Structure 1
Amino acid sequence: MKNLIAYFAKQKILVNIISIVVFVVGLYALTHIQRELFPNIAFDFIQVTTVYPGASAEEVERLVTSPIEQDLKEVDGVKKIMSISVQGQSLIYIQLDPDQTTSDEAKSDVQDVIDKMSDLPNEAEKPVVVSLESKLRPIVEVSLSGDVSESVLREKAKLVQDKLEKIRSVAKVNFNGLRDYEIRVEALPQKLKQYHVSLNDLIFALKNQNLSIPGGVIEAIGPHKKEMIVRTIGEYKSLEDIKKTVVRANELAESIRVGDVARVKRVFEKRKYYERTNGHPAIYLTVLKKEKGDAIQLVDDVKAVMEKMKPLLGDKIHVSYINDMSYFVRRRLKVLTNNLAIGLVLVVLILSLVLPSRIAFITAFGIPFSFLGTVL
């Protein structure tokens, strides 16, 4: 160590060059480093979510959760399997053993098992497999609120989502408070009684009409062989299509249609919760950041996009920012910068009391030098 110190003490030009390089490259790295509130963490957990509309918790447990748990036992590296079955949904959490497998490998194995399953109910949606990790985290929420109709607010929120998802560091934009449209068929008891139609007749007619069924392939015989794909398309495209659906007909071609015994309308789905900002109905857009994105730069980009969109949103719709994570990142960086500056000043002042000023400044120079060297 003494020889190393003696060598650098003699090579003043080399020391100066190294110091300048560390300062220049360190400052460049400091201005381009990724700024994040918390580091990315993999939790060694995999979640399997299955939606089974209309099923009770007991049915979900028996028909969905138990079969999936049974098949997941063949996956290597599984430490524990936990499940929650509620009305209409199954949640399965798989804890992994990090010594036996990685999160990516286990997720691929679980997905293969799910894809091979064939004994789930037809009414159940396809299970979704996700790896629980912190790389996709909300960075800011954009609130759109105002005294406008829900359909107008919904239209503007969709427009904002399209613009925000074009930002390079944005992984996804999720909605809170946005309701989808649904077609509601309300049976009229007096009409059902008048036409002698049961509720099951109405349900059966709607269920069997709204279908798209493959019919195979027709091959033409001759010198110019051709193939045509046959498909029976009966999906509804408008409210009129639903109203014209035949519930029952007789031999005289007289038919009873859905519009004769029910009221058909397009409405918003049932509200599960209310979202408000400053007392006004609101829709929240939660912006998720990509793993390599910069928190501060992303929020600045989001605010710049929203500033440009204000003329399109109109005067009645107000934009607010909620749960801005970049605020905490800026505050931490400010504390770090202030502490560095205060520490540097205190070191210079204290050393100046016992050492010559030149030596005190050279010694204090080691603080920013060490900090910038660490950034590298």
Structure 2
Amino acid sequence: MIGLIDYFIKRPLLVNLFTVMILIFGGVTVWGLQKEIFPLVDFDVIMVRASYPGSSSEDVEKLVTIGLERKLKEVDGIKEMNGLSAEGSSIITIEVDPDYELEKVLDDVKNSVDSVDDLPDDVTVPTVTSLNNRQRAIIKLSLTGIEYDGLRKASKKLRDELEKISSIAKVDLDGYRVDEIRIELSPKKMARFEVTIGEVARAIKERNLNLSAGKLETPNGDIIVRTISEFKNTAEIEDVVVRSNTSGSKIKIRDIAKVIRKPREGSILQRSNGERAVFLDIKLKETGDVLNTTRLLKTKTAEWFEKNSKRYQGLKYRYADDMSYFVKRRLNILKNNGLVGMVLVFICLLFFLNFSTSVVTSMGAPIAFMVSFIVMDSMGLSLNLISMFALILVLGMLVDDSIIVSEHFYQKLEGGMDPKVAAREAAIETIKPVTATVLTTIVAFGTLLFMGGIMGKFLWPVPVMVIICLLASLFECFFILPSHLADFCRVSPKQKGSRWYQRLLDLYSKSLDLFLKGPWLVLGASFIFLVGSVFLAKTMRFELFPGDDVRVVFLQIKGKVGTPLIKTDTTMKRLEKMAMETVRKDELDQIKGQVGVLLSRQSRKTGHHYGSLIVYLTPPGERERSTDDILNELTDKAKPLAPGYVITVRKMQGGPPRGNPVEVEITGGDLEQLKKASKEVLE
């Protein structure tokens, strides 16, 4: 260690060149680092989904969910399993034991689900997925202003254009109804031709084929044979022969039915600011940069609208839930704090050190940061909301060790010691205390590496970044700083001594003597402060991730099962109108209305008795009222507008995904008893 310090002090040109290279390469590296929202995380949760169209929740439970759960109980590595049976759908959530490998449990779950052979014929093939954030939604785009058929066509065209961006994983269409072909049979015509529904279904099934026909071996190689006879349009369906006789007469579909192609009738309605809408939910690839992708996406969208303005006259678009805003905001905080902090450190040092020593010392933070960015890039780390929080947190710690070494050096320099000798002695004499100080901080933050669960997976960049930055600062403090001090810093006779500083020392000396003479008084005062701080801490509100700047408010309604969709739609329209009148223009970004959907913290439920209103607000700096003020007013005005519905108003949860503050789980075999018990618990 001492040999390395001597080596660098004797070679200032090498150290200066090395410093310039660090600043250049660090700057280039931070420019190229991937910017994302959160670190990539596997949630150790597996979802099994199956659809049973047209069935009640009780039938789904008996015929689908219970059968799947019975088979899944055989799988090792399942910590907890919960099944949700709703109208037409079954969702089983599996929490994986952290002691087991996720991929192994996932494969076992897939095999178990595939082995279930007693599901009803109408049940779709169950899908098994592992929850993670590898494909992250970065922004939403709504299309409004024209008739629904035009919205469908425009949304598909725009989706295809946006998916050409290499960093976009996919674009989901929300509110888009796919086409379906309806064959409306005429009972009178069927009776006249004596044709049954079974004959029609069989004829269509035999005509619409895409089957493998084996392999044809030839001297030139094998040829795969496949029979393809799929319908391409409604005319081909109309020409299907249902029955023919020996005289040559044929009965076709067109003779007994109408073939209509139109959007599938859905139970979910979507609106934006009260207008019928289709939403594009853009998702980023694992390696994508959220800032670059969002910038390119907005450019392409503007170009597409300019190009197709005549084709889709009146079509409007609007962005919402732009996650790049939070990344840019955190980057600006990091940049501004770094610049302001460096200037303030320099100004403070000028009160105690000379100009050259202050400059060299204040350069410790940017050099340590550049080294950290280079290490981040080599480790494959990214700049995300968590890692940038860690960088902001550690910013004030990076110059502490440099200040200690520089002050020690300056004291020796004022005593007449040669700069090189002073730099060497200052570095050697402060190695142990400075290293011990840094190591204690590293140990304190290092304990976060052992935090388990989803929270631990999200927060691990904090200790990693703090440790990297502190080690980089320690490296700069003992190998770069001493050389710069010896090379650039001198003390002139006029700079020696300072009257105000001497007066400050005299005042401190007298105060210290006073405290040393009354140790019991000092101990008593310290004890009072300790007890008082503990008492005040108990009265303070605890919030793990504050949501002060949350920009999304959810207003949701839940009616009785069996409520008609039109009634829920009418209620939602009243709520949408109220929300647009309550939230001021400078506060409102967009309102998304969904009829037939309930968005909970853990899942998405569908049914005619559900409705969700998502209010996207402008950034906090652009409005006077806080999110809580707007939420409270929406809550007060919403209750009279939805009689017969349970209303919930909440704001989006800040920080990583986590459960509710308090959860009560009631289990049993009788559904009616469970409902009764849950009501008693709520009361």
TM-score by length of 2: 0.48
Q: CA deviation at 1:13?
A: 2.6
Further displaced range: 254-263 or 313-322: 254-263
Match of residue 289 from structure 1: 284
Match of residue 104 from structure 2: 105
Whichever structure has more helix as a proportion of its residues is 2
Q: CA deviation at 1:129?
A: 1.4
Contact 2:203 2:242 in 1 (8 A): no
Match of residue 270 from structure 1: 265
Match of residue 63 from structure 1: 63
Matched to 1:80, the amino acid is E
Match of residue 223 from structure 1: none
Matched to 2:168, the amino acid is V
5 Å-filtered alignment, 1:178-197, equals 178-186=176-184, 191=188
Contact 1:177 1:283 in 2 (8 A): yes
Match of residue 162 from structure 2: 164
Matched to 1:211, the amino acid is K
Cα distance change, pair 21–237 in 1 and its aligned pair in 2 (3 A)? closer
Cα distance change, pair 291–230 in 1 and its aligned pair in 2 (3 A)? closer
Secondary structure at the aligned position of 2:138 is classed as strand
Secondary structure at the aligned position of 2:170 is classed as strand
Q: Which runs of 5+ in 1 are unaligned?
A: 220-225
Match of residue 134 from structure 2: 135
Count of residue pairs brought into register by the alignment: 364
Cα distance change, pair 58–257 in 1 and its aligned pair in 2 (3 A)? farther
5 Å-filtered alignment, 1:207-356, equals 207-212=201-206, 237-240=232-235, 263-315=258-310, 316=313, 317-356=315-354
Q: CA deviation at 1:131?
A: 0.8
Provide, for residues 269-298 of structure 1, a one-character-per-residue CA deviation record: whole Å limited to 9, x for no partner: 224333334554322111100111110001
Provide, for residues 115-137 of structure 1, a one-character-per-residue CA deviation record: whole Å limited to 9, x for no partner: 34433333222221111011211
Whichever structure has more strand as a proportion of its residues is 1
1:50 aligns with 2:45: no
Cα distance change, pair 283–3 in 1 and its aligned pair in 2 (3 A)? same
Equivalent position to 1:173, from 171, 174, 195: 171
| Structure 2 Cα separation of the partners of residues 302 and 232 of structure 1 | 38
Further displaced range: 264-273 or 245-254: 245-254
Matched to 1:136, the amino acid is Q
Contact 2:81 2:94 in 1 (8 A): yes
Contact 1:182 1:268 in 2 (8 A): yes
Further displaced range: 155-164 or 68-77: 68-77
TM-score by length of 1: 0.83
Matched to 1:26, the amino acid is G
Cα distance change, pair 168–257 in 1 and its aligned pair in 2 (3 A)? closer
Q: Which runs of 5+ in 2 are unaligned?
A: 217-221, 375-683
Provide, for residues 198-218 of structure 1, a one-character-per-residue CA deviation record: whole Å limited to 9, x for no partner: 9xx43x344323314669779
Match of residue 16 from structure 1: 16
Q: CA deviation at 1:177?
A: 1.3
Contact 1:248 1:257 in 2 (8 A): yes
Cα distance change, pair 244–58 in 1 and its aligned pair in 2 (3 A)? farther
Match of residue 37 from structure 2: 37
Cα distance change, pair 137–276 in 1 and its aligned pair in 2 (3 A)? same
| Structure 2 Cα separation of the partners of residues 314 and 50 of structure 1 | 41
Q: CA deviation at 1:38?
A: 1.5
Provide, for residues 20-79 of structure 1, a one-character-per-residue CA deviation record: whole Å limited to 9, x for no partner: 222122111100011112212211001111122223323322332223222223333222
Secondary structure at the aligned position of 1:346 is classed as helix
Matched to 2:129, the amino acid is V
Secondary structure at the aligned position of 1:372 is classed as helix
Contact 1:80 1:94 in 2 (8 A): yes
Q: CA deviation at 1:19?
A: 1.5
Q: CA deviation at 1:357?
A: 0.7
Match of residue 153 from structure 1: 151
Q: CA deviation at 1:300?
A: 1.1
| Structure 2 Cα separation of the partners of residues 6 and 266 of structure 1 | 84
Match of residue 222 from structure 1: none
Secondary structure at the aligned position of 1:354 is classed as coil
Cα distance change, pair 53–210 in 1 and its aligned pair in 2 (3 A)? farther
Matched to 2:162, the amino acid is L
Q: CA deviation at 1:175?
A: 0.4
Q: CA deviation at 1:349?
A: 0.8
Further displaced range: 248-257 or 115-124: 248-257
Secondary structure at the aligned position of 1:210 is classed as helix
Q: CA deviation at 1:303?
A: 1.4
Matched to 2:60, the amino acid is V
Matched to 2:356, the amino acid is R
| Structure 2 Cα separation of the partners of residues 307 and 343 of structure 1 | 39
Cα distance change, pair 115–194 in 1 and its aligned pair in 2 (3 A)? closer
Q: CA deviation at 1:14?
A: 3.2
